[in-house]
Structure 1
């Protein structure tokens, strides 16, 4: 049989731990949101979007922020419910934050500002990849190893040689057939 005789200290310790867990959860989620927004704004700094795009981006951010605040309020309310003795499954907290994250990111990602920033990011990554490929090919050539272009050229020459060999074999077979007749 379980002991239901909670002391005042036990109760205070449980409530304190729950409050600390909720505060840590809120802090971690706000830090994640801030990091996301900082990354997003860094991408936007590289170009000056028009006012409509900026306004829509700010609306998306505002909606995302409101979503996070609503989630924080829900977590707080469920914590109060738990402190008052209601049986609250810890997975409810996780579900609240996951749903909030999905909705907040959806709000931000559906804006033209995010699409523009994402497009710039993809372009930057493609340019970096091109530069990396060029540097890699130069390094390979510097070591005396064949480059991708060299290997492709050898492959094309080999295919051409095989085609010519097939033509010569076909002609030779015809000549041998005529000599046998």
Structure 2
């Protein structure tokens, strides 16, 4: 009889663990989705998009949202299956979310709105990089260190000196040949 008591306790522990994993996965999904929506909204607000781009972006988001909802339905179905005695590998839950995330992000990333946002972001990053480079140049110059501009100028001068030296050497070789004849 003690063995029979262990089985329900183990089963209850298993079900409790499955429920906890399901709730954790659902919570992580909702947090990821909320973060995604927040970032998407910020991107849309910060980018001046035309109406067709905006509509396509919203359609992509709608498709992504539907993918997340379908994944939630799949999770509930698999939990129900496990409650009915079907053996469900916990990795299936992870796979559902991973596949859904790939599908949802694909739906959004294929839109012209996402491309416009990405282009805007890259442009902003390049402008920030140029400003940072200029600040670094100014700081180095104020501290008396050589800047990229100085090093480039010195390199150009060295190349010009080598070219002139080579020309002088060629002239000297011709003069020496003339003297030897």
In structure 2, the partner of 1:45 is 45
Contact 1:49/1:113, CA 8 A, preserved across alignment:
yes
Q: Does 1:88 align with 2:88?
A: yes
Alpha-carbon separation, structure 2, partners of 1:21 and 1:94: 10
In structure 2, the partner of 1:136 is 136
Contact 1:43/1:120, CA 8 A, preserved across alignment:
no
Alpha-carbon separation, structure 1, partners of 2:47 and 2:99: 32
Shift of 1:37: 2.2
In structure 2, the partner of 1:175 is 175
Q: Does 1:114 align with 2:124?
A: no
Number of matched pairs: 179
- Secondary structure at the residue paired with 2:146? coil
Alpha-carbon separation, structure 1, partners of 2:58 and 2:171: 75
Deviates more, 1:108-117 or 1:98-107: 108-117
Aligned structure 1 segments of 4 or more residues deviating by more than 6 angstroms:
none
Contact 1:81/1:88, CA 8 A, preserved across alignment:
yes
Contact 1:68/1:100, CA 8 A, preserved across alignment:
yes
In structure 2, the partner of 1:70 is 70
After superposition, the C-alpha distances for 1:97-154 in whole angstroms (9 at most, x for unaligned) are 1110010001111122211111111111111011111111111111101111110110
Alpha-carbon separation, structure 1, partners of 2:155 and 2:137: 18
Q: CA 1:48–1:178 in structure 2 vs 1: closer, same or farther (change >3 Å)?
A: closer
Q: Does 1:60 align with 2:60?
A: yes
TM-score w.r.t. structure 2 length? 0.91
Q: Which runs of 5+ in 1 are unaligned?
A: none
Alpha-carbon separation, structure 1, partners of 2:122 and 2:78: 41
Alpha-carbon separation, structure 2, partners of 1:51 and 1:176: 78
Q: Which runs of 5+ in 2 are unaligned?
A: none
TM-score w.r.t. structure 1 length? 0.91
Alpha-carbon separation, structure 2, partners of 1:50 and 1:170: 64
Shift of 1:6: 4.7
Deviates more, 1:144-153 or 1:77-86: 77-86
